[in-house]
Structure 1
């Protein structure tokens, strides 16, 4: 394969379309979870919070006078592995926004900071708080299996956010297949390389690819990587030449990509396991004078300034795999279970990730990306 492969048509079209879209429509920062608000409110019209018009006495004053009323709102507790990961931060903030729109509910979030032991302790404390529901994205599903059973014996709804929890006794689970995320990234890179080969009048599709993982050993990282590897193997001329963890960080991704350029000299595509790392890879490619030669795919596809969808729109990265938030459907299941005694949720609900590229980014920003199943 020539060492000076470029993507002039793909790359220039991305930049041109991004510029035109920004000029015509301006930025958008409404997350897909906002679109779930109306769906949740339709399921529970009586629960939409009315605007407050009466002044409320300060809590401290009421407590001092002995007049403080007990908060009767149903509590939902969200247990997350590590909110330093942008996707988990998005889940926390998105669910907070959704719950704030539901009268009669309040949200408590616990961050395990990557520690399974801490998450187990947080789960025990959550059960003791007797909430209406617990939503958990587990670090180690078997480690919390007994606690799931204990929670359910206390009448607590438990929604899991990981397909490994299928046999752990949750009320229901909501998940997105991480192998599919990796496979979609590989398919997108291969299609770009096919177009490249056609432009150069070559019958053989070839390419040198770099992968930036999240952390060295985590379930999500390993599943995404395995799906990516499966996808690349479908095209024998496309090979993975460099694979390094970057801890979900833009700065680390810049360093790892710089190292990749030093070791490999040139390559044709980069897949980063999240968009923050894709940005770091793009910075390193720009510094090396290779940005126009490298097709960059990220993952998460969050909306908002300098996040995945906007990065594709601006041409800073070339594509992103949108990861469903999951917490939006989890909230719908909880509110429907509590308002409709005849409702029996499915054992599991799978939400498909979505690939966003310049050709569909404007529509994605305007109307959303993934679709939630009907309950």
Structure 2
């Protein structure tokens, strides 16, 4: 049971491609990418899927990549350094919401948060989660990284009640893109009170 990080990153890339086209008349712009722990499967897939969509556009420039180890504090530190070196940034893509939020906070510290959009992944509920950050205008979007527990319980239950049931070799869980248009509804759905 898994979630398709590559597909999530492709969808993020498609959103950024559309955003840059609307902003600049064609897919061109300057992107900063904050990566998780290098070599971890999720990091590799979130990198490769995003680049598969955007690397084909000559006008899209990845002005800086930085490793922030999935942490908001490191995302903020790296982004502070990047902002001092990069006078123009259109998009910040964080491989998870905490790094993207850290980047936003760094930009806000320097009064530059309105110059760019921030994209994250994981879409957790709760006040500190990515869904709320989309509602608050911190992130332009995030993607829910579905937890696999419900599916595992469903499969386990099916095995118990049906001796002939043979589970599939792989189950791929679908992700949902969270934008300002659906964030409130998704926040209610994914936040426990």
TM normalised by structure 1 equals 0.49
Q: Is the 8 A contact 1:309 1:320 kept in 2?
A: yes
Q: Please, what is the CA RMSD of the aligned residues?
A: 1.5
1:139-166 Cα deviation digits (max 9, x unpaired): xxxxxxxxxxxxxxxxxxxxxxxxxxxx
Q: Report the Cα distance in structure 2 between the residues aligned to 1:212 and 1:221, rounded to whole angstroms.
A: 10
1:90-109 Cα deviation digits (max 9, x unpaired): xxxxxxxxxxxxxxxxxxxx
Matched, 1:300 2:127: no
Q: Report the Cα distance in structure 2 between the residues aligned to 1:285 and 1:309, rounded to whole angstroms.
A: 20
SS of the aligned residue for 1:358 comes to coil
Deviation at 1:241, TM superposition (A): 1.1
Instruction: Show structure 1 runs of 5+ residues with no match.
Output: 1-173, 198-202, 369-375
Q: Is the 8 A contact 2:126 2:187 kept in 1?
A: no
Q: Report the Cα distance in structure 2 between the residues aligned to 1:350 and 1:334, rounded to whole angstroms.
A: 16
Aligned pairs, number: 190
Structure 1 equivalent of residue 70 of structure 2: 248
1:232-261 Cα deviation digits (max 9, x unpaired): 124321121111110111110001111111
Structure 2 equivalent of residue 16 of structure 1: none
Matched, 1:175 2:9: no
Deviation at 1:362, TM superposition (A): 2.1
SS of the aligned residue for 1:342 comes to coil
Pairs within 5 Å for 1:1-375:
174-197=1-24, 203-367=25-189
Deviates more, 1:354-363 or 1:249-258: 354-363
* Consecutive aligned runs of 4 or more in structure 1 exceeding 3 Å deviation: none
Structure 2 equivalent of residue 33 of structure 1: none
Deviation at 1:340, TM superposition (A): 2.3
Q: Report the Cα distance in structure 1 between the residues aligned to 2:143 and 2:14, rounded to whole angstroms.
A: 11
Q: Report the Cα distance in structure 2 between the residues aligned to 1:277 and 1:318, rounded to whole angstroms.
A: 14
Deviation at 1:367, TM superposition (A): 4.3
Q: Is the 8 A contact 1:189 1:295 kept in 2?
A: no
Q: Report the Cα distance in structure 2 between the residues aligned to 1:364 and 1:241, rounded to whole angstroms.
A: 33
Of structures 1 and 2, the larger Rg is shown by 1
